[in-house]
């Protein structure tokens, strides 16, 4: 029997992870649009989180709106990260920071410039970014006006977003991930947080979730998904 390793192999990616909706804050700064997470109020161990498609900060507390304010303190945060000796940082790009509604033809330059600064700061410390394209940050506008991922129009919106960031950060990002915990779209009783799916009265939940999962671009059994995956690969 092969002996257990006593050390990590050379080149092992040792680091930490966050998601944009957890840490960035600045939920409406510099042209950013609201995401799925921005419409979820805080909960407790006794009170589940609620979804308010009309955001009202005067009556509700939305954790993602402030996060840990990474947006304004990324330099200090990355310096602390480097101090711990980490060499890789898994993070996500906030889709509506790049395309505020999700269906625009042109991206938000202020959002693109922010991630340029983040990646430059990471590389200054020798930290490799591993970037998730969608970590529960689908633009809220696409939920309100398209029905989110149950609408196959989102495939092309997502492909445009992917092509934009692939081209912009070529040479700065080598490792990309598509969807965080994509299986949770089927696992959750109401997968709003994962895919922006809200059920109408009388809908068969599992059928809606299956159709939604079939629209997500990385699901191999779906013809549309395979088409979109090819688009994304060609852009890279």
The answer to whether position 78 is within a domain reads yes
pLDDT in tens, 173-198: 999 999 887 666 565 666 566 666 77
Helix (H, G, I), strand (E, B) or coil at 178: strand
Written as six digits, the tokens of 10 are 């050379």
The predicted pLDDT at position 183 comes to 63
Total of domains in the chain: 1
pLDDT in tens, 15-40: 999 999 999 999 999 999 999 999 98
Confidence grade of residue 13 (pLDDT, cut at 50, 70, 90): confident
What's 222's domain CATH number? 3.20.20.80
The answer to whether position 217 is within a domain reads yes
The predicted pLDDT at position 47 comes to 82
Confidence grade of residue 207 (pLDDT, cut at 50, 70, 90): confident
pLDDT in tens, 55-75: 999 999 999 999 999 999 999
pLDDT in tens, 73-104: 999 999 999 999 999 999 999 999 999 999 99
Cα–Cα distance for residue pair 214/205, rounded to 1 Å? 14
The answer to whether position 175 is within a domain reads yes
The answer to whether position 52 is within a domain reads no
Give residue 143's domain range.
Answer: 15-42+59-235
The answer to whether position 151 is within a domain reads yes
The predicted pLDDT at position 80 comes to 97
The answer to whether position 102 is within a domain reads yes
Residue with tokens 């991922």: 149
The answer to whether position 1 is within a domain reads no
76-87 b/e (C-beta count within 10 Å ≥ 16 → b): ebbeebbeeebe
pLDDT in tens, 103-152: 999 999 999 999 999 999 999 999 999 999 999 899 999 999 998 888 88
The answer to whether position 82 is within a domain reads yes
| CB-based contact 124:190 (threshold 8 Å) | no
Backbone dihedral angles phi then psi of residue 16, each to the nearest 5 degrees: -140, 175
Average per-residue pLDDT in the chain? 84
């Amino acid at each position: 029997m092969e002996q257990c390793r006593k050390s990590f192999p050379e080149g092992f990616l040792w680091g930490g992870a966050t998601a944009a909706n957890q840490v960035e804050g600045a939920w409406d700064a510099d042209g950013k649009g609201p995401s799925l997470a921005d419409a979820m109020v805080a909960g407790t161990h006794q009170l589940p989180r609620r979804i308010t498609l009309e955001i009202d900060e005067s009556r509700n507390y939305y954790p993602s709106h402030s996060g840990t304010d990474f947006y304004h303190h990324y330099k200090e945060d990355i310096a602390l990260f480097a101090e711990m000796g980490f060499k890789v940082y898994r993070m996500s790009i906030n889709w509506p920071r790049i395309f505020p509604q999700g269906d625009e033809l042109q991206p938000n330059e202020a959002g693109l410039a922010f991630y340029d600064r983040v990646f430059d700061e990471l590389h200054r410390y020798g930290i490799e970014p591993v970037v998730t394209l969608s970590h529960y940050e689908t633009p809220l506008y696409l939920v309100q006006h398209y029905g989110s991922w149950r609408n196959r129009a989102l495939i092309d919106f997502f492909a445009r977003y992917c092509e934009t960031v692939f081209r912009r950060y070529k040479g700065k990002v080598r490792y990309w991930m598509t969807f965080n915990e994509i299986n949770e779209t089927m696992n959750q009783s109401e997968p709003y947080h994962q895919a922006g799916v809200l059920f109408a009265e009388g809908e068969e939940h599992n059928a809606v979730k299956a159709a939604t999962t079939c629209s997500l671009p990385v699901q191999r059994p779906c013809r549309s998904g395979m088409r979109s995956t090819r688009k994304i690969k060609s852009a890279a």
